[in-house]
Chain A
Amino acid sequence: METLERILAQHPFFKDLGGEYLQLVTGCASNVRFEADQVIFREGEEANQFYLLREGRVALQLFSPERGPLTIETLSEGDILGWSWLIPPYNWHFTAKSLDLTRAIALDGKCLRRKCEEDHNLGYELLKQFASVIEQRLESTRLQLLDLYGVRS
């Protein structure tokens, strides 16, 4: 049977994390499952988790009274969902909704924050990984904003 520690070790996000830290992180992890169209978290709610998506797709959405729910980005297998647990005041900035049946590993943010405070090396390793995810998302967002496929005037 696949243990959580092995699943985490094989995930690109944790692959560079040492065995000792992996054990610490595994202590904050659990398997979760979301049905299609289930809300995983809502904008404004307290952010105390992040997810490693293993299967399925998730839409990150904002609600506009004029236009309804707007999907900003979709995430799928292998992606990280959520970093608001890491940054005060720990509230979600978007709503996440599963588009298909979605399986993920949930990481308890409170548990991780406490462990990171106790061991700053773990905190630094985790921050390095998240910085890379945030950099990729920022680059993608910038490209999206360029509206590259629109007609040049």
Chain B
Amino acid sequence: MVPRPYVIKRIRKDTADTFTLELSPKDSRSRFTFAPGQFNMIYVYGVGEVPISICGDPASPTLVHTTRAVGNVTKAMAKLRRGDLVGIRGPFGTSWPVEQARTRDVVVVAGGIGLPPLRPALYHILAHREAYGKLVLLYGARTPDDILFREELENWRARFDLEVFVAVDRGTSEWRGNVGVVTTLIMKAGFDPTNTIAMIVGPEVMMRFTALELLKRGVKPEAIYLSMERNMKCGIGLCGHCQFGPVFTCKDGPVFRYDQIKDLLVKWEI
């Protein structure tokens, strides 16, 4: 697959090390469509290519990516300006079970930079709100300054049909919100564990402990989904870089059902 050129329409700094790109195809006749949870390979010309989850509204024509400037490619990406071009290959991978979750309660648990991959699912559910039961968002960040999409979270919190809990690992003297790990919020949230679909994204350790808390609360293993991040290179299961036991994260994931990979999560060797 050849990367298609996309123009940066807007670049926004979200936190000290996180930024958002809003992209449109250079050939404006083609429209990008994707399912919530999928990712793109983004090519910074002359530097390299990285897999990044799509974090915008699936119903919007604008392609949105939020990421952290942490490696060579994303650091170069952070320096791009409005009007610059990037190459896009995708969308790739599996998606969140938003159709299967219809009529059920949905619990979305995000840790750190794990919120962007979940945002399209939230947009989709909010756009079809009447089709779902309770909707709960639990979000854990490192510090108050690291909270992503703060304005949007505040707007969501003001809604009567969405329960939003935010906790930070380290508070500041000004912070009056919750302090503690995101897993402690699971027992506080109002949802019916026997009729819930849970979607989790964050560091692997956080996802493991979140899944354990959800199980403790009574959510079935087959109703828990998580998005894995491995060393994805080709995006089509060809190169083998992202092999995760018997599966390829780029092709068979990134969204997996917990019961299908729970044994792999605790294997040190893979």
Interface residues in chain A, defined as those with a beta carbon under 8 Å from any beta carbon in chain B: 57, 59, 67-74, 76-78, 99, 136, 139-140, 143-144, 146-152
Contacts and interface: CB of A to CB of B under 8 A. Distances in A.
A73 to B, nearest CB: 5
Interface of B: 17, 68, 70, 111-113, 140-142, 146, 167, 169-171, 173, 175-181, 183-184, 187-188, 202-203, 205-206, 209
A78 B146 CA distance: 28
B112 A144 contact: no
Nearest to A75: B180
Given A140-B181, A143-B209, A150-B142, A76 B169 contact: no
B180 A149 contact: no
Given A59-B179, A140-B184, A67 B68 contact: no
Residue from B68, B141, B178 with most neighbouring chain A CB atoms (10 Å): B178
Contact of A151 (B70, B141, B171, B209): B70
The DSSP consensus for interface residues of chain A is mixed
A144 B209 contact: no
A99 B181 contact: no
Contacts of A146: 205
Nearest to B111: A149
Contacts of B205: 143, 146, 148
Contacts of A144: 169-170, 180-181
Nearest to B68: A151
Contacts of A73: 179-180
Nearest to A148: B203
Given A71-B179, A74-B180, A147 B169 contact: yes
